Amino acid sequence: MRLIADVMGADASPETLVPAFVKGAREAGVDLTLCGDADIIRNALSDEDKNFVTVCHAESVITMEDSAMSAVKKKKDSSMSLALRLLKEGQGDVVISAGNTGALVTGASVIVGRLGGMKTAAIGTILPLSTPTLLMDSGASINLLPENLVQFAHLGSAYMEALFDMKDARVGLINNGAEETKGTELYRSAHELLKNEEGIRFVGNIEGRDVPFGRCDVLLCDGFVGNIVLKLSEGFGFYFSGILKQGLMSGLRSKIGALFLKPQLKGLRRKLDYTEYGGAPILGISAPVIKAHGASSPKAIVSAVKMAKRVAESDFFRRVTSVL
């Protein structure tokens, strides 16, 4: 299996991303192609790694400030566009980029192409909760139709079964109330469609306060709402870890107690850490494309590589093709 990585245009520098992708690829046991400025990439590689990695030079970079259409119109010679073309041409099995989200979603949709029947794509992010919860859309599309959310329900259900062996995943619709009449026209109409949709285990509206408690396995919303939910959950994870550490280090007794609780605390910290998954697939694309956080740490990149391998080797695409 070959992983294609776009190492330019992220908040994290190529000098940080390149060694992390190499480490992740070695640990995952996959071949690696890096797309970007060839000189920068080679300077970030050790002599040993140069024999392990294939480098594909790109003339330009899509920045975080560029438009969503950059990958397909203004910067066709960018590292992101190159990575997506290589995937389309069959020169790799999965793409990862920590670059511009809008450009990656648009580029993947146009260059790689969407699954048959899909109107738009969605970023599916696993929230670090007590049980895996797939949030979609977490940032790809803001202006959705009710029918899009129904398609997302099928995508999410197939994904959770393929990746987590979760049959009959419970699908919930995030809303400002549990009643069917709550929410905007989008959410009211989507609720009506979802409750009558065959093949979907719809459990109704999910209020924000219920999200952390496992009320559903797939949480549906538009990209605007989803991105706020995602960033808020990440922020609370950092906040809770910080105040917990502060409390445990506040005195001698608490420090001694922390030593005894170290294994349990380590497990708790792992559950709250978004870098455990590292990347989120853009669901609805005809081949695996993974969006990594723009400010990904080396640990997050390694996790993203392992997630990418799981997605590429799963039977998700076979499952979802049969229901779309």
Question: What's the mean pLDDT in 38-42?
Answer: 95
What pLDDT was estimated at residue 188?
94
What pLDDT was estimated at residue 132?
86
* Angle of helix 146-164 versus helix 185-195 axis, rounded to 10: 60
d(CA 238, CA 245): 11
d(CA 300, CA 20): 9
pLDDT at 56 over 90: yes
- Is the CB of residue 143 less than 8 Å from the CB of residue 228? no
- Is the CB of residue 85 less than 8 Å from the CB of residue 4? no
Between 269 and 289, where is the model more confident?
A: 289
What are the distances in angstroms from CA 113 to CA 69, 287, 292, 302? 14, 8, 20, 26
How does pLDDT run across 174-225, given as a tens digit for each residue?
999 888 888 899 999 999 999 999 999 999 999 988 888 888 999 999 999 9
* Cα–chain center distance at 33: 20
pLDDT band with cut points at 50, 70 and 90 for residue 142:
confident
Task: Please state, for a pLDDT cut of 70, what percent of the chain lies above it.
Answer: 86
d(CA 35, CA 286): 21
Looking at CATH, the fold of the domain delimited by 122-275 is given as Isopropylmalate Dehydrogenase (3.40.718)
d(CA 288, CA 104): 12
pTM of structure: 0.87
Instruction: Count Cβ neighbours within 10 Å for each residue of 249-279 and write b for 16 or more, e otherwise.
Output: eeeeeeeeeeeeeeeebeeeeeebbbbbbbb
- Annotated domain spans of the chain: 1-118+284-324, 122-275
What pLDDT was estimated at residue 117?
81
Indicate the Cα dihedral angle 85, 87, 88, 93, nearest 10°: 180
| Class of 1-118+284-324 in CATH | alpha beta
- Is the CB of residue 171 less than 8 Å from the CB of residue 194? yes
- Reported as type and span, the H/E element at residue 158 is helix 146-164
Question: What's the mean pLDDT in 269-298?
Answer: 80
Half-sphere exposure of 186 (CA within 13 A, CB side): 16
Bridge pairing between strands 133-136 and 218-220: parallel
pLDDT band with cut points at 50, 70 and 90 for residue 247:
low
d(CA 124, CA 122): 6
How does pLDDT run across 122-131, given as a tens digit for each residue?
999 998 777 8
Which residue bears the tokens 């990575």? Answer: 83
pLDDT at 29 over 90: yes
